[in-house]
Amino acid sequence: MPEKNLTPDEADLRRAREAARLCEAASADIVSFADRLSAEITPADIAEYDTLIAREAAALSRRVEAFGRLGLGAGSIDRSTSESAIS
């Protein structure tokens, strides 16, 4: 369904899902990089890693923002941890 036909809540949920997928892909790229990395680090390795980390940070920021629109955030983690400790 095109995003223009979605309710605002559905559009936010779709954006959150896509942001999570992008974050997962960025992390997978770092895993791939680590798998092919040798013990001898080169300037090209450093440059690639810097690029990958920047991409992962941007994806994480988009994911946090998208889930924040759904009312989820670090506070929801803190609350669930506190609640389970009380039980």
Question: What is the reported pLDDT for 42?
Answer: 97
pLDDT for 80 beyond 70: no
Of the two residues 66 and 5, the one the predictor is more confident about is 66
Domain boundaries, the chain: 3-86
Question: What is the reported pLDDT for 28?
Answer: 98
pLDDT for 77 beyond 90: no
Give the model confidence (pLDDT) of 4-48 as tens digits: 676 878 999 999 999 999 999 999 999 999 999 999 999 999 999
SS3 content of the chain, % helix, strand, coil (to 5): 85, 0, 15
* 32 token code pair: 């791939």
Among 83, 74, 67, which residue's Cα sits nearest to residue 15?
67
Single pTM value for the model: 0.74
Question: What is the reported pLDDT for 49?
Answer: 98
Question: What is the reported pLDDT for 64?
Answer: 96
